[in-house]
């Protein structure tokens, strides 16, 4: 029942369609259906079924059309269909009992358009305001952030599937599922690699750089040669070559240096104007080979070739330590260190 005293109550308002039906209950008090007040047809007690009936009921539709014609002179053609029906029923029952008239009027007020001034409008709250959702765009950005962390810290990709790592991410962002290690090793790795190459290209384009070459052996004693390029402010990794069955000679290293210089020009649009390497015997010979033929390297009026200064200082320290006086001093220092290492009381005083 609608009541004129229940104004602006919170919660969901009852649909006006209920005003067209009379409730039918069994002897036990259970609601079994709704009877149309116009045609007497019984329908289910569901608002959707009741609305569908009002759209097909010939009596209701005929009254609605008549109401539209009456109200057209008042410029109210845009009033909803059900509101026309309610007003028609209200005007036709003015001679009824006060309670019936009051009920009709209250229904009319219930479905009328709320006024922007005066009474308050109670809106139904949405569930989305109480739920944390992660859109596809946000999930993709989070995947990239996780990938950058993994790559920059050299963390094994399998860590993304560890229980506590997933729990951490879930606590930080409910509903977010981190990428699998397969996605890290394929799609995300390619995406981050392309971003890094683009950033390096933007920084190095048109600049003069130094080509740096160094070599070492892996834990399996396989020789590796790495090439970098440096502007003096920043250093960028260029390539790493597993020599495989090739002998690591000065001629082979020269070929790798020439390839590195060409790659820097093509990939980053920069010009190599100097070359530096360590001071191993074959690398010293490599620098001599470059001096004898600068046509492949020289990209301008000058080209500088020099050895690694830190490696020179390392050689200098080795030679100084071979002097008798210095060697004796070093042995004494070692003995002092051993004493404090092996005596916990003396070590505790430190």
pTM of this structure: 0.54
* pLDDT reading at 310 higher than 70: yes
DSSP tag of 300: S
The model's confidence at residue 64, banded by pLDDT at 50, 70 and 90, is confident
Tell me the mean pLDDT in the region 319-341.
90
Q: 244: how many CB neighbours lie within 10 A of its CB?
A: 7
Tell me the C-alpha to C-alpha distance, in Å, between residue 147 and each of 137, 161, 181. Answer: 16, 13, 10
**Pick from 172, 83, 180: nearest CA to 132:** 172
Residues 66-115: pLDDT tens digits? 877 766 655 444 445 455 455 544 444 444 434 433 333 333 334 444 44
**Pick from 132, 165, 163: nearest CA to 146:** 165
**Long-range CB contact pairs, 142-151, < 8 A, 24+:** 142/169, 142/173, 142/176, 142/178, 143/178, 143/179, 143/183, 143/188, 144/188, 144/191, 144/192, 146/178, 146/179, 146/184, 147/179, 147/184, 147/188, 147/189, 147/191, 147/192, 148/192, 150/184, 151/189, 151/192
In this predicted structure, which of 68-82, 90-104, 142-156, 264-278 has the lowest mean pLDDT?
Answer: 90-104
Q: Which residue has the higher pLDDT, 170 or 118?
A: 170
Bridge partners for 35 per DSSP: 22, 42
**Kind plus residue range of the DSSP H or E element containing 58:** helix 58-71
- For the chain, what percent of residues have pLDDT higher than 90? 32
Strand, helix or coil for residue 294: coil
Q: Are 288 and 253 in contact (CB under 8 A)?
A: no
Q: What is the pLDDT of residue 290?
A: 85
* pLDDT reading at 148 higher than 90: yes
Residues 10-41: pLDDT tens digits? 567 788 888 888 888 888 878 888 888 888 88
The model's confidence at residue 160, banded by pLDDT at 50, 70 and 90, is very high
Q: What is the pLDDT of residue 333?
A: 92
In this predicted structure, which of 18-22, 88-92, 145-149, 293-297 has the lowest mean pLDDT?
Answer: 88-92
In this predicted structure, which of 107-116, 198-207, 329-338 has the lowest mean pLDDT?
Answer: 107-116
Tell me the C-alpha to C-alpha distance, in Å, between residue 261 and each of 25, 70, 205, 220, 277. Answer: 92, 90, 14, 29, 14
Q: What is the pLDDT of residue 321?
A: 85
Report CA Rg, the chain.
Answer: 43
């Amino acid at each position: 029942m609608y009541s004129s005293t229940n104004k602006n109550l919170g919660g969901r308002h009852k649909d006006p369609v209920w005003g067209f039906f009379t409730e039918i209950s069994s002897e036990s008090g259970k609601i079994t259906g709704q009877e149309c007040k116009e045609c007497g047809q019984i329908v289910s007690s569901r608002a959707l079924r009741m609305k569908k009936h009002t759209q097909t009921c010939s009596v209701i539709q005929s009254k609605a059309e008549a109401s539209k014609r009456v109200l057209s002179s008042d410029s109210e053609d845009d009033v909803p269909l059900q509101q026309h029906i309610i007003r028609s029923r209200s005007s036709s029952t003015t001679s009824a009992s006060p309670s019936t008239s009051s009920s009709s009027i209250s229904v009319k007020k219930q479905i009328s358009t709320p006024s922007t001034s005066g009474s308050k409008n109670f809106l139904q709250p949405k569930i989305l305001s109480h739920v944390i959702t992660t859109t596809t765009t946000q999930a993709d950005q989070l995947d990239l952030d996780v990938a950058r962390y993994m790559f920059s810290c050299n963390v094994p990709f399998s860590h993304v599937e560890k229980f506590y790592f997933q729990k951490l991410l879930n606590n930080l962002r409910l509903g977010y599922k981190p990428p699998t290690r397969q996605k890290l090793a394929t799609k995300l790795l390619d995406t981050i690699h392309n971003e890094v190459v683009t950033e390096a290209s933007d920084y190095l384009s048109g600049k003069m750089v130094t080509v740096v070459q160094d070599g070492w052996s892996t834990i399996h004693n396989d020789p590796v040669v790495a090439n970098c390029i440096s502007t003096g402010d920043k250093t960028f990794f260029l390539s790493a070559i597993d020599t495989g069955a090739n002998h690591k000679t000065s001629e082979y290293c020269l070929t790798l240096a020439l390839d590195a210089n060409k790659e820097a020009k093509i990939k980053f649009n920069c010009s190599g104007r100097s070359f530096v390497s360590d001071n191993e015997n074959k690398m010293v010979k490599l620098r001599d080979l470059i001096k004898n033929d600068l046509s492949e390297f020289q990209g301008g009026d000058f080209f500088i070739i020099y050895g690694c200064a830190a490696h020179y200082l390392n050689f200098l320290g080795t030679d100084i330590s071979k002097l008798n006086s210095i060697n004796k001093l070093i042995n004494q220092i070692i003995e002092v260190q051993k004493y404090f290492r092996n005596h916990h009381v003396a070590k505790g005083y430190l």
